[in-house]
Amino acid sequence: MGSMSKQSPDRLTIARPDDWHLHLRDGAMMQAVAPHTANHFGRAIIMPNLVPPVVTGAQAAAYRERIMAALPDGTPFRPLMTCYLTEETDADDLEIAHRDGIITAVKLYPAGATTNSASGVSDFDKVRPVLERMADMGLPLCVHGEVTDPNIDIFDREAVFIDKVLKPIRKKVPDLKVIMEHVTTQNAVDYVRDSRSNLAATITTHHLIINRNHILAGGIKPHYYCLPVAKREKHRIALVQAAISGDKRFFLGTDSAPHTDANKLLPCGCAGCFTAINTMSCLAEVFDAAGKMDKLENFTSLAGPRYYGLEPNEDTVTLVKGDPVDYPDHVDTADGPVTVFNPGFPLHWRVE
């Protein structure tokens, strides 16, 4: 599994990237956004937080069909499906779906943690038998790592989740392969770094770029509001250090989460940044600024498949550096416009 990376100062060829955490939604929204991910990415882990959520293998299979139908014929993109873990999840159903290649992972949302998470888990002991079965069959658990206790400050919810929920789960089910998703804190980076096995983390594009000032200083910016919410600058720096380090336990999960502007710009607006279109340009800018373009392929294309026990994509993409790239500021959908993530700096790299 050698690196395919070929580099000059203004060109970089890497194995085609994958997105290990993606929201494609359904219906008109999916029609509009799915082709953008399929343009650059070979595979993506598809989040199951539809309304109602994707909880059974049969529902995951049907959702996969709808995704493929939203893409042009012959698109090589492969959606890797997940089931949403509830306190009623049937381990036999997961086992069959896993055996038949329908699902790649199971998603744990603490009840009430984020968009459409009402069916999530409140009592972690109730799902322990399912987690033990997943450990036996080698089916990974993707975790939204935030507690939902209203008494816990929103900026502390990830750090508290690690101590109060994740450590106990991993102690009780040590063979369970866990992905801590969209990590936003130095605490999470340290926790993953200190682990011996069965733990990795995804990092989003936007959390490598924004801190909480971007959301709140100089006027509220709903398009930068996502969950987990961006933290202080020192945490953003810790995420960048993890991403550019070449450590195989950190890889890209964009958490690209489209909502219409009408749903973002409300007195109680939805959480999510839509980055599917310009993620590769944003990442290249971040890695280039750090002088670590040679580590981009690990983050986007090698570390993820390795952790999931899959081969990297066989084909490649080439990034080219030049004059700033123009991206549309929004994508039109039949439900209304969706604003594209604005990194706040020019993007010089594009996918050829």
Annotated binding site: 21, 23-25, 49, 107, 144, 182, 227, 255, 259, 271
Strand intervals (E) in the chain:
6-8, 11-15, 19-22, 43-46, 78-84, 103-108, 141-143, 178-180, 199-203, 250-252, 316-321, 330-331, 338-339, 349-351
136 is catalytic: no
**Contacting ligand DOR (CB under 6 A), which of 120, 140, 272, 312?**
272
Q: What is the DSSP string of 207-229?
A: GGT--HHHHHTTS--GGG--SSP
Residue with tokens 């026990």: 309
Among 255, 261, 323, 326, which one carries the catalytic annotation? 255
Q: Considering the rule CB under 6 A, would residue 23 count as an interface residue with ligand DOR?
A: yes
* R_g (Cα) of the chain, nearest Å: 19
Q: Tell me how far apart the alpha carbons of residues 11 and 31 are, in angstroms, rounded to a whole number.
A: 32
Q: Shortest gap between Cβ of 273 and ligand DOR (angstroms)?
A: 7
Give the interface segment with Zn ion, choosing from 84-92, 123-131, 192-200, 247-255 (CB under 5 A).
247-255
**Residues 179-218 as x/- pattern, contact with ligand DOR by CB under 6 A:** ----------------------------------------
In one letter, which amino acid is 313? N
* 40: phi then psi, degrees, rounded to nearest 5: -110, -30
Pure H helices in 173-326: 186-194, 212-216, 233-244, 261-264, 279-289, 296-297, 303-308
Q: Considering the rule CB under 6 A, would residue 257 count as an interface residue with ligand DOR?
A: yes
Give the interface segment with Zn ion, choosing from 148-156, 166-174, 251-259, 283-291 (CB under 5 A).
251-259
In one letter, which amino acid is 89? T
Q: Considering the rule CB under 6 A, would residue 227 count as an interface residue with ligand DOR?
A: yes
Contact by Cβ (8 Å): 19, 303? no
Residue 49 touches which member of ligand DOR, Zn ion, none, C-beta under 5-8 Å by kind: ligand DOR
Strand-pair category, 11-15 with 316-321: antiparallel
**Contacting Zn ion (CB under 5 A), which of 158, 255, 285, 288?**
255
Count CB neighbours of 189 within 10 A.
24
Q: Considering the rule CB under 5 A, would residue 19 count as an interface residue with Zn ion?
A: no
Feature table: binding site for substrate: 23-25, 49, 144, 227, 259, 271
Residue 259 in tokens: 């909502």
Strand-pair category, 330-331 with 338-339: antiparallel
Task: Name 332's Cβ contacts closer than 8 Å, sequence gap at least 6.
Answer: 32
Q: Shortest gap between Cβ of 174 and ligand DOR (angstroms)?
A: 26
Positions in 47-86 near Zn ion (CB under 5 A): none
Q: Considering the rule CB under 6 A, would residue 275 count as an interface residue with ligand DOR?
A: no
Give the interface segment with ligand DOR, choosing from 99-107, 210-218, 267-275, 333-341 (CB under 6 A).
267-275
**How many residues interact with Zn ion (rule CB under 5 A)?**
1
Please report, as ranges, the residues that interact with ligand DOR according to CB under 6 A.
Answer: 23, 49, 114-115, 144, 226-227, 255, 257, 270-272
User: Which residues of this chain interact with Zn ion, rule CB under 5 A?
Assistant: 255
Q: Which residues are catalytic?
A: 255
